[in-house]
Amino acid sequence: MSRKSWRSVKEIRIADVARLAGVSTATVSRVLSEPGKVRQKTHDLVMEAVRRSGYIPNSTAQKLRTRRTMNVLVVAPRLTNPVFAEILRGVDDELTQSGYGIIIGNLDNRREREARYVELALSRQVDGVLLLTGYIPENGARDMRESGLPIVAMCAAIDDDKIPNVVVQDREATRQAVEYLAGLGHRRFGYVSGTPTSIIEHERFRGFREGIAAAGFGPDDFVRWEGPFVFSTGVAAAESFLTMRDRPTGIFAACDESAIGFIKRIREERIRVPQDVSVIGFDGIEFSDYTEPTLTTFRQPLHELGRAGADVLMKLIQNDMSPGDWDIRLPLTLLERDTTGPVLHKDYKSLRRSSI
């Protein structure tokens, strides 16, 4: 059984309003887009006709004529990741203010999906692109730059002098995390990675090694466990950790999810956090405040990041970038909570001594 007449509502066109108001379509258009340039009386006449008819301009026709879509494409690796969802909120807030709409390009961690969004850009369905991916999506044949659209990279930097970057200070924060752990007396460290191929992971690991060096340690003083930015990566890291004889006591995880997975798993083996092992996460997702114990982590200014990135894109579209907009790097905040603490047994030697 099929239902008919979805299109039953009669469409009001600008010509209808013009007729109703006794003016030309040009005047109606002017009243709606540049009210100042029309006599008050005409203006009122037209507005009355608009109200009476319930006229709403057909946005597709507007787009075709003005060559502006008032839409922006946001390409994100995975929307169910709270980090991206929160950035999107900031983007949305800023864009809405400027009258722009959002078209979501959710890759859902599958790179095949990006082709679709390249085509979307190429077919001019949007006026600009926000990339949370850390790379330029491509098509097989072409990449997104060929659209000629303004593009802004957020969250993960892209090395292209036409693309402004709006990111957080990953590297600095991660370095600081290690120094924080070292300051608590930790001497052996662990690094739970994020998706190994991602730029973000790369930056964080770089910051980690910088921190290790800055605290006077070397490559032999830490272990690294690899895996994507998910809970199970932390669990897998914990499994490996549990098999070690000379376990690290200061663990940094490149995202909160894996920090939480790690902690959950080792606590099942009656390892105490933070008395036996300190763990520090990254992101500051809401859930990190509801774990046991609550997670020490770096909070990313996600909402602000979203707004800043959208703001830069707006400037790019409107052609009024200033040099200071080209590279924005927002600071993180250390949330000192309950999964980090001073080392009780300073190192392997003293551990042996105390247990004799």
What is the binding site for DNA (CB under 7 A)?
11, 13-15, 22-30, 32-33, 37-39, 41-43, 55, 57-58, 61-62, 64-67
Q: Tell me which residue of 151, 150, 156 sits closest to 169, measured CA to CA.
A: 156
Report what 19 binds from a second copy, DNA, none; CB cut-off 5-8 Å by kind: none
- DSSP annotation of 342 reads -
Report what 106 binds from DNA, a second copy, none; CB cut-off 5-8 Å by kind: a second copy
The nearer residue to DNA, 19 or 303, going by C-beta atoms, is 19
Among 32, 47, 85, 335, binds a second copy (CB under 8 A): 85
Task: For residue 300, state whether it binds a second copy (rule: CB under 8 A).
Answer: no
Task: For residue 124, state whether it binds a second copy (rule: CB under 8 A).
Answer: yes
Task: For residue 63, state whether it binds a second copy (rule: CB under 8 A).
Answer: yes
Asked if residue 268 lies in contact with residue 242, where contact means CB atoms within 8 angstroms, the answer is no
Task: For residue 120, state whether it binds a second copy (rule: CB under 8 A).
Answer: yes
Q: Tell me which residue of 137, 89, 22 sits closest to 300, measured CA to CA.
A: 89
Task: For residue 39, state whether it binds a second copy (rule: CB under 8 A).
Answer: no
List alpha helices for 164-245, DSSP H: 170-183, 199-214, 231-243
CB of 24 to DNA, least distance (A): 3
Report what 32 binds from DNA, a second copy, none; CB cut-off 5-8 Å by kind: DNA
Report what 24 binds from DNA, a second copy, none; CB cut-off 5-8 Å by kind: DNA
Joined tokens for residue 169: 């200070």
Task: For residue 113, state whether it binds a second copy (rule: CB under 8 A).
Answer: yes
Task: For residue 356, state whether it binds a second copy (rule: CB under 8 A).
Answer: no
Report what 37 binds from a second copy, DNA, none; CB cut-off 5-8 Å by kind: DNA
Q: Is the dihedral of CA 305, 89, 284, 226 positive or negative?
A: negative
Q: In what order do the strands lie in the sheet with 222-225?
A: 222-225, 189-192, 250-253, 278-283, 296-299, 333-335
Report what 335 binds from a second copy, DNA, none; CB cut-off 5-8 Å by kind: none
Q: Which residues contact 230 (CB under 8 A, 6 or more apart)?
A: 257, 258, 261
Q: Is the dihedral of CA 193, 199, 202, 204 positive or negative?
A: negative
DSSP SS3 for 76: strand
Task: For residue 98, state whether it binds a second copy (rule: CB under 8 A).
Answer: no
Beta strands at 296-299 and 333-335: parallel, antiparallel or unpaired:
antiparallel
Task: For residue 80, state whether it binds a second copy (rule: CB under 8 A).
Answer: yes
Distance CA 165, CA 76 (A): 15
Joined tokens for residue 5: 């007449």
Task: For residue 13, state whether it binds a second copy (rule: CB under 8 A).
Answer: no
- DSSP annotation of 152 reads E
Place of tokens 């809970």: 231
CB of 12 to DNA, least distance (A): 8
Site for a second copy, rule CB under 8 A: 1-4, 6-9, 54, 56-61, 63-64, 69, 71, 79-80, 82, 85-86, 88-89, 92-93, 96, 101-104, 106, 108, 113, 116, 119-120, 122-125, 142, 146-150, 231, 260-261, 264, 267, 286-287, 289-292, 316-317, 319-323
